[in-house]
């Protein structure tokens, strides 16, 4: 299980629904790096416009960070500037709706920085995926939000994963993935928040493995809809769901080549839930 979790959660505490201020989010990220299961912590996700303040707040702790920066094609030069300033930026997350912008991104992306281009899960555009893939970039899937309409259906997610797997195309997922299994939760942390079904990150991980190793969309959809922890058997050596089983080596391959990370505004919630299920 540890190999499946390694660097899985990019901490996005400054974004909805948590919406921490920068100082609090920075403090929480640095604290998480010294907690149990800190190996599951990936990047801290920040907006490009907060980098000056982040640099000032972090001071001598700046090199304890790994950063993923939300940017646009118009401010990649800012990313380049802060890289020269010594900020440890490893990823940028960006929207690029057409081939021209994707090619611009490829040409202007700083060296040694991975780029994730957000694509629509519900309105799958093969030509955009092909352009991203040809440019050597990666996809970003938005799996939820603060309203029910922001959550794509399991069938749509399975279809998108299939398209990515066929192209051997790496991706990250974000939003609405705080909990291991598909389940009903409040959309925000407000007591009067609406609630609804959210996708689970173990569902997503296993569906990614299923399709990466040749499974079909129908089974992947069923897996994404699975809500029972009893349907899974998770050990140090493998994860099993129904008749499917993925070894540690297979899960490591999926994490290294396909599902790269998950953006979450909480690191505590996913770890706490995994412990409650006895999976950590």
Long-range CB pairs of 106-109 (<8 Å, 24+ gap) are 106/135, 106/136, 106/137, 108/73, 108/76, 108/77, 109/76, 109/137
The contacts of residue 10 (CB under 8 Å, 6+ apart) are 42, 43, 44, 45, 68, 172, 174, 261, 262, 263, 264
- pTM of the full predicted structure? 0.95
Q: Taking a C-beta distance cutoff of 8 angstroms, is the pair 144, 123 a contact?
A: no
Q: Taking a C-beta distance cutoff of 8 angstroms, is the pair 188, 167 a contact?
A: no
Q: Write down the domain spans for the chain.
A: 2-274
Classify each residue of 82-101 as buried b or exposed e, where b means 16 or more C-beta atoms within 10 Å of its C-beta: bbeeebebebbbbebeeeeb
pLDDT, tens digit, 9 for 90 and up, residues 108-160:
888 889 999 999 999 888 999 999 999 999 999 999 998 999 999 999 999 99
User: Is pLDDT of 36 > 90?
Assistant: no
Instruction: Domain 2-274: give its CATH architecture.
Output: Alpha-Beta Barrel (3.20)
In whole angstroms, what separates CA 224 from the centre of its chain? 16
Residue 78: count other Cβ atoms within 10 Å of its Cβ: 16
pLDDT, tens digit, 9 for 90 and up, residues 220-250:
999 999 999 999 999 989 999 999 999 999 9
Classify strands 232-234 and 171-174 as parallel, antiparallel or unpaired: unpaired
């Amino acid at each position: 299980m540890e190999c499946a979790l390694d660097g899985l959660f990019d901490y996005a505490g400054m974004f909805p629904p948590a919406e921490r201020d920068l100082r609090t989010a920075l403090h929480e990220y640095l604290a998480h790096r010294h907690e149990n299961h800190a190996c599951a912590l990936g990047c801290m996700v920040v907006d490009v416009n907060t980098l000056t303040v982040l640099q000032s707040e972090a001071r001598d702790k700046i090199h304890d960070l790994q950063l993923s920066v939300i940017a646009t094609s118009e401010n990649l030069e800012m990313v380049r500037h802060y890289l020269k300033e010594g900020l440890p930026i490893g990823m940028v997350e960006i929207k690029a709706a057409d081939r021209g912008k994707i090619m611009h991104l490829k040409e202007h992306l700083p060296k040694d920085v991975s780029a994730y281009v957000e694509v629509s899960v519900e309105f799958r555009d093969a030509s955009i995926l092909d352009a991203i893939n040809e440019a050597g970039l990666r996809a970003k899937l938005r799996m939820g939000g603060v309203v029910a309409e922001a959550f794509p259906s399991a069938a749509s997610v399975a279809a998108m994963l299939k398209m990515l797997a066929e192209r051997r195309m790496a991706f990250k997922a974000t939003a609405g993935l705080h909990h291991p299994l598909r389940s009903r939760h409040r959309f925000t942390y407000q007591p009067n928040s609406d609630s609804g079904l959210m996708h689970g990150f173990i569902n997503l991980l296993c569906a990614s493995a299923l399709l990466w190793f040749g499974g079909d969309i129908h089974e992947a959809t069923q897996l994404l809809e699975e809500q029972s922890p009893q349907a899974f058997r998770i050990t140090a050596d493998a994860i099993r769901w129904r008749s499917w089983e993925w070894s540690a080596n297979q899960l490591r391959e999926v994490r290294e080549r396909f599902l790269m990370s998950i953006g979450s505004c909480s690191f505590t919630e996913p770890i706490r839930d995994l412990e409650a299920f006895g999976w950590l």
